[in-house]
């Protein structure tokens, strides 16, 4: 498995390598904090891409945004499931 590019964090709520999703025992506040940390960590690459034209930084930004999108969907699913179980 290739190492994670600089500025990209593994999100707890993101699907794991075996396709496992969040369950009702997962705490979403921690996932939200990790999502915010991911956004903060990709800020430098975002600037490098748009201000300096660094194409590799753009790739890292796209990868981070895909991870964020997946995590956000997992959180939405978890919140809906929790709401329905109450």
- Helix (H) / strand (E) element for 19: namely none
Q: CA separation (Å) from 77 to 30, 82, 83, 86?
A: 16, 9, 10, 15
pLDDT at 54: 97
Query: Model-level pTM greater than 0.85?
Result: no
Query: Per-residue pLDDT for 69 more than 60?
Result: yes
Question: Tell me, what's the pLDDT at 35?
Answer: 92
Residue 47 reports pLDDT greater than 90: yes
* Half-sphere CA count of 39, side-chain side, radius 13 A: 10
Checking if the pLDDT of 4 tops 70, the result is no
The region of weakest confidence among 4-8, 10-14, 58-62, 80-84 is 10-14
């Amino acid at each position: 498995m290739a190492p994670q590019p600089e500025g990209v964090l593994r999100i707890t709520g993101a699907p794991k390598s075996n396709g496992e999703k969040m369950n009702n025992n997962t705490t979403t506040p921690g996932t939200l904090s990790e999502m915010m940390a991911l956004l903060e960590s990709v800020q430098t690459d975002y600037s490098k891409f748009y201000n300096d034209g660094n194409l590799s930084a753009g790739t890292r930004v796209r990868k981070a945004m895909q991870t964020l999108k997946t995590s956000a969907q997992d959180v939405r699913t978890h919140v809906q499931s929790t709401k329905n179980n109450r």
